[in-house]
Structures are given as C-alpha cells and as structure tokens.
Structure 1
C-alpha cells in the first residue's frame, strides 16, 4: 500500500481521492506530530516508503537541477570575470560595451522564457531542457574566438535564448514533485547552486589566468573554453536523468510504486496536473492577482541587488590596485554568504515559520535597504564600511527559491497557471533588466554607481511592501477556500 506522511502524521492514500481531500488545511502538515529530526531534514519523519522515494528523487532531480543551474550561472556570469581579467584591454572595451553585452544576453533570455515554459507543459522536459543546455554550452566556447563587439553581442544574445529555459523550467518541475513542507528547501538548494557558479567562475578565472599565452590564447579566452568543457557533460546527462513530471515520467530509477506515490502526493497537495489551455483558463489567469503581484515581487527581487549582478565589487577592487587573482577571488566571499543565507531562509521558512515565505523576504529587503542607503553616500563612508556592505549584499540574493515556492503554492490548483506565472516572474524580471542597467549601472560610472545604489533602495522597499500585500491576499484566499470546502 502506498503511504504518504504529512509532517509527522501518517496519511494513508485513498483510491478515490477527490479535490476536497486535497483542499484540507494547508497547515495540517505543520500541526501534525513531528520530531526534532524534521527540522534537520523533512524526510526523516516520513514513512519508509516515502523516505526511499524522496531519497531517489533528491539524489537525481535535485542533483541535476543544482548542477544545471551551476553551469547556467557559470556561463552567464563569466563575461564579468573575463572583462576584468584582460578582455576589456585586449578588445578595447572602454565605453559601455559590458552593459550592452549584458543587455544582449537579457534580450535573448526575455524572448525565450515564456514560450519555453509553455512548451514544457506540452513537450517532455527531459528532451527540451538538456537540448538547450547543450546549445548554450557549445555557444560559450565561441566567445573565446571573438574579435569584435558585434560577435560578442550576437553570441551573448543566443546564449541568453538557450539559457532562458532552465531556471523557470526547473522551478516548474521541482514544484511538480515536492510538497509544501519540502518545497522551499529544494527550491533554495537549487537556487544556491547559482551562487556556487559565481564563486567557481571567480576561482576558475584566477586559475586559468595562469594559462595566459598558452597555445596562443589569453587567460580570459581559456575561461570560456574550460566553461564549455565543464558544462557539456552535465548538459548531456540531463537526457538520461531528468524525470519529467509525475504523470508522464519514464525515469528508469523510479518504480511503478514510486510513480503512484508521486502522483498521490501531488493530489494530497492539491497540485493540479496538466490540462488543455482554454479561453476560460486564460481569462481566469489574467483576472487574478496571482500573476501580477507574484511577477512584481520577483521583478523587485531580481533587479534590486545590483551589487551581485554587476561587477561592482570587482571594479572597485581594480580601482584600488588589487591583482587579477584578488579581483576574481575576493568577491566570492559575498557569493558564499548568499549560499549560507539561502539555506538559512529555506530551513527557517519550512520549519520555524511553518511554511510562511514572507518573513525571509522582509529580512533580506531590510538588509538591502541598509546596504544601498550606505552605498548611496559613497563619498562619505569609509572603505571598511564599503567592505561590510559588499559582503552583506549577499544576504539579499537568497530568496529567489522562496518566491517560486510561494508561487507554486498559491497557483497549485491550476498547472497551466503555475507554469505561466513562474515563467512570467522570470520573464518580466529580465525585461526590466534589459534597460535598467543601461540607465543606472553604466560602466563608465563604476565603481561609484550613485544612481544604481539609490534605485536599489526603492526596489528593496517595493519588494517588502509587495510581499506583505501578497501575504494578506493569500491568507484571505486560502481562508475562503477552506470555508467553501467546509460548507
């Protein structure tokens, strides 16, 4: 018999599970009897059957998602490391060319994102996502051969198109397999791998710079070559290991009982399976607050911590006369802080805050207001406080997984809405990212980006306000559903 445990309580499956069964109080899992072990890792208080299933799922899906996002960020952020490590001088990039390269990548990302996420509701993710990974990995190596800005712009655009499928697509897949008490930790572990990619890119650049001149390639060119060598095997592995969705999976490592358990878990969670797109469905989606406020929340988060997305600290260190190795390795401390706070946010959200996603959002936004208010007074703060603020900026990079976990829960009763909303969140965040850096993060103003720092203060404040509004509306909507089921 398939057995599913919510929190510490055992809930046997029913062959005739209906929607009312799946619409019980979402806090039931937190009210059930649990032990201290579940605060360490949620599977420890579940049934043996469910524990074995989740072990296999975590070992494969979570590992592949994390490695894939690691190489995605490695191949996205490498342009910053290459730029401060000789590419700027070798190619004569003394204007705002770095901004334009970033904008070209973002335009490609924006164009590909929502179509890709909609395709994932109709095409097997185990085919589409790895194919896109292989594409961007191969395109990355050609960056090493560029001799003009036109070539760089074109390649960055197509790399952005290929990479657009991965993050929202994998968040959609993760949200199709895990329950509420499991989701934030997995989403945040997945997101933290991006910060690890940023760290590794810095260390890799510091290492391959020593190859400068070897076989006629400069150190920054070797970065792109090695990135492709790291990325390709991981991309190809996806064709074999990515499990698709519970209702269509053909993963070799999942037994028929595992698949039945996965489907039952999503029924208990009230998370809908795939259904046709209809006019009524589109009207429902676009007349709901879900798509607008969740998208706004992610826009404010994604664009509200420019010290991470721009090479602000690297360029400041370069202006201070630090070596190429130091310029690439010191900022990895901030990335390490992002990894640590991401995991703290996940564990506290799933356990201490009993599945609430908004408290870490408020905390990170508050830290960012302090950081960027300080940076706005750039000429009046000592270097020691600049160091502290660059490091504290890492506290604001870890809530992406929580926002997506929140979206999966809010949109859980409509699979197509969930896919469209998560795609829209990432899509619109990068629409803003196309033009905002060109206005407030201009390369020629580095490292004293006063317009950028002031803008970040307002975006952090907007993120906090939006999170509080979503909390109120979500609780009101959830209570209304419970009253309807009770009636």
Structure 2
C-alpha cells in the first residue's frame, strides 16, 4: 500500500518493531486513501495489518459470538412467553415484567464487581466461566414449572451475564486505537440484534417440536439455546487474549504483543493499577462518571426495543390475528434495522467524522424521540405504528458509540 513492507514473521526481530511503529504513525499523519473508509487496516503497514487481522479473527469473532449467545439467552424469555409458556404455567398480569426485572437486578448488581475482578484476574478465565454458568442456567429454565423458579433463575442468569458486555468492551478498548474502535465496538454490539433475531426465528422453528420428549416447544427453546451457548463459552478459554500487558495468546507472537502494547502507549492508554484511595477519588471526581453513566442509563431506558412491545402488540391483535410463527418473526424487522443503522453510524463516526461520536449519538436520539412520541400517542395509523416499532432499532445502535 506504499508503506514499508515486511513479511509477517519478521516482526519477531527486535530491529523491525521500531520501524513498524514509525510507519504506523507516519500513516496516521498522511491523508487517508479511499480504501481506509472501507476498512481501516487496508491503509496500514503490512505488519500492523497482520496483527489486526489476527486480533479481528480471534477477539472480535469471539466477542461477537459471545454477545450473540448472551442475547439469545437473555431474550428467549420473551419468545417463550408468547409461544405457550404463559398458558402452560398460568402466568398473568406483570409476571413477564418481573422476570425481566429479576434479570436486570442480577445484571446491575454484578457489573461493577465483575469489571473490578477483570482488572485483577485473567479475563480469559473469568469471562468463559461466567458464560458456562449462564448456559447451564438456561438449560434449567426448561424445567421451571412456576413463576418463582423462573424469577430465581433469571436473577442468576443476569448475574452471570453481567460479566460479558462491559468486560468485552474493556478488552476491545485495550487492543484498538481510537479510529479503529467504533467500527469494532459496533460490530460487537450488532451481534446482540442478531441474537434477538435468531431467538425469534428459532422459536418459530422449535415450536413444532412441542410434545416430543414430553416437553413443550418453549422448553425445547431453552435446551437448544443452551446447546448453542456451551461450546462458544468453552472456546473463550482459547480466544480471549486478555489485555496487552499480560497477554500470551497462542495466535500472537511475543513481538506482536509488544507492538500492541506500544500502540496503546501511543494512544495514551495506561496499564492496570491497584485500587487505592487516590484512584477511587480520581474516579468519583472526574466528569466521566457523572456524564457518561446517565447517558447510558437514558440510552438503555429510551427505546422500546428493550421490552417485547412488538411481540405483545402482535399477540394482542384480534384483527388480524397472528400465528405464533408470525409473532416471533415479524418483530425481527426491528433488529435488522438496528444492525444496518449501527454499522452505518460506526463507519461514519470512525471514518468521515474522524472519531467524533456525538453527532451520530444525537442523530440516533432524535430518531428515537420521534418514534417514542408516536408510540406514546399509540392511536396512530397502523402503517406508521409498524414503522415506528421497526425504527426503534436505530436507538439500539448507540450502545457501541457510547462505549467507544
């Protein structure tokens, strides 16, 4: 690409590393080529491209698969509820909301301690252990026979899942530079929409298994979700690279790890440090915790995509009356919108806006205001109601940008 060319293996030579770092910094100062806007590694020296290819192939792929199964196991309760579980277990009124709330309580309680643990122990051990835990608990949901059992299981599933998203964002942020981060953070985030979509498609297919083995279709959903989740969780022991300062992944050489450490030093990223009174004081006196925490709270509570509104709307419809398959499949339009809009905003943020996040966050927020106000009115034309329910997926794409 017009930069110094080295064979990937030559990075093992200590004399090559400074040249690669210099070439990488030189590229950042020059006008970007058109192919940079397609994918940023195309405009980097060969050695850096090779390092990032391996990171993308291992870290980003595992992160996306892990978040896929997290959302598969997180949202399957909605698909199961509208596909027979409500009637079989005699559920009523707000019990689905309570199931979701129990999960959220576990998730909120677990996030901060889990991320603190990640700064003391190896993420490549802690995160897969938590994934295996929630996969096993997902199996257990298939045998739940009352609401109370589901409440307890959902709480512990939320507790186990609290490790994954903030933990993987922390690891991704430890390996990628600013102009590389939004795309990868948002690719990682879109897998949540794909997991939700797949849960709907899977329920539509698994519903036909009802009666086999003495179990209903919704019970088979939890079993199959667990079967999908378990091998991905186990793969984490081999594919999570930890953070650069302690990383020894089998797919990176020692010199490549040193190069990754240097990239983070150039980005101003600091290594992990012990928790001290001074550190806590610095955290709680910085503007970040008071600005970014409310931002993310508003994001999480600002979209109906966080609740099964679309599915409940279809289930309650009398004219026309929708089938179980349609109730599970039609709402996935929302997730498809999220995937497309998330990736589009990420590419614009990293490339065209050169790392600026706020314009795309404001754009997504404005779309969300329009859809939420319309749905709050509710008595609107049916076609516009469908459009608004679908467009709430745009707001779901803001998570990766907020994290980046």
TM over 0.5: yes
SS of 1:247's equivalent in the other structure is: helix
Specify the alignment match of 2:188 in structure 1: 190
Specify the alignment match of 2:338 in structure 1: 338
Contact 2:349–2:360 (8 Å) recurs in 1: yes
**Is 2:322 aligned against 1:325?**
no
Contact 1:188–1:343 (8 Å) recurs in 2: yes
Specify the alignment match of 2:117 in structure 1: 119
Contact 1:5–1:47 (8 Å) recurs in 2: no
In 1, the alpha carbon distance for the partners of 2:220 and 2:210 equals: 8
Contact 1:4–1:265 (8 Å) recurs in 2: no
Specify the alignment match of 1:399 in structure 2: 398
Unaligned 5+ runs, structure 2:
1-15
1:122-144 Cα offsets, whole Å, 9 max, x none, are: 00000000000000000001111
SS of 1:11's equivalent in the other structure is: helix
In 1, the alpha carbon distance for the partners of 2:342 and 2:232 equals: 23
What aligned pairs does 1:53-452 form with structure 2 within 5 A after superposition? 53-305=51-303, 307-320=304-317, 321-379=321-379, 381-405=380-404
**Is 2:25 aligned against 1:11?**
yes
SS of 2:25's equivalent in the other structure is: strand
In 2, the alpha carbon distance for the partners of 1:107 and 1:389 equals: 29
Shift of 1:5: 6.3
In 1, the alpha carbon distance for the partners of 2:366 and 2:261 equals: 39
Aligned length, in residue pairs? 385
The 3 A distance-change label for structure 1 pair 10 and 167 is closer
SS of 1:169's equivalent in the other structure is: helix
In 1, the alpha carbon distance for the partners of 2:378 and 2:21 equals: 53
Shift of 1:397: 0.6
In 2, the alpha carbon distance for the partners of 1:77 and 1:266 equals: 36
Shift of 1:184: 0.5
Unaligned 5+ runs, structure 1:
13-27, 406-487
Contact 2:305–2:392 (8 Å) recurs in 1: yes
In 2, the alpha carbon distance for the partners of 1:100 and 1:49 equals: 52
Contact 1:75–1:227 (8 Å) recurs in 2: yes
Contact 1:132–1:165 (8 Å) recurs in 2: yes
1:331-372 Cα offsets, whole Å, 9 max, x none, are: 111101100111001100001111100011111110011101
The runs of at least 4 aligned residues of structure 1 exceeding 3 Å deviation read 3-6
SS of 1:137's equivalent in the other structure is: helix
Contact 1:192–1:398 (8 Å) recurs in 2: yes
Shift of 1:241: 1.3
Shift of 1:278: 1.5
SS of 2:244's equivalent in the other structure is: coil
Contact 2:244–2:257 (8 Å) recurs in 1: yes
In 1, the alpha carbon distance for the partners of 2:30 and 2:120 equals: 37
Shift of 1:280: 1.2
Q: What is the TM-score when the length of structure 1 is the normalising length?
A: 0.78
1:281-321 Cα offsets, whole Å, 9 max, x none, are: 1111111111110111101101110x211111111111221
